[in-house]
């Protein structure tokens, strides 16, 4: 991964993952650590509590390569991950944020 240029990264197909998780200190580390540990790049992360704060939603912008389904299965194994949904890269959540990163 370290070898890719930013142009390479731009060209790769992306996907957006939506994780419903139990909201407690440490759940972000569990999720981000899993992707880092398995050498799978995460391009963008968003996390906010939902409803009464018992749950959070984590949005991940990731590369859509042949390992993504394995990463999804690994994420589903985390005790505090309640569900994982996969969306296309055109999902609005990261597109609307672009204005903040100009």
Is 88 near another protein (CB under 8 A)?
no
Residue 36, CA atoms < 13 Å, CB-side half-sphere: 8
Q: Which of residues 39-68 bind another protein (CB under 8 A)?
A: none
Give the nearest distance from C-beta 1 to another protein in angstroms.
Answer: 18
Is 83 near another protein (CB under 8 A)?
no
Give the integer Cα–Cα distance in Å for 81 and 58: 10
The runs of H, that is alpha helices, within the chain are 6-11, 27-37, 68-77, 92-95
Binding site for another protein (CB under 8 A): 25-26, 29-30, 33, 37, 69-70, 73-74, 76-77, 79
């Amino acid at each position: 991964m370290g070898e890719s240029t930013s142009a390479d990264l731009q060209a790769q197909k992306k996907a957006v993952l939506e994780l419903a998780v139990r909201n407690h200190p440490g759940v972000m580390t569990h999720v981000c650590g899993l992707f880092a540990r398995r050498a799978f790049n995460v391009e963008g992360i968003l996390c906010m509590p939902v409803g009464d704060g018992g749950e959070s939603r984590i949005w991940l912008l990731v590369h859509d390569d042949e390992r993504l389904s394995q990463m999804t299965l690994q994420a589903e194994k985390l005790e505090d991950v309640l569900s994982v949904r996969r969306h296309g890269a055109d999902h609005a959540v990261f597109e609307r944020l672009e204005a903040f990163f100009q």
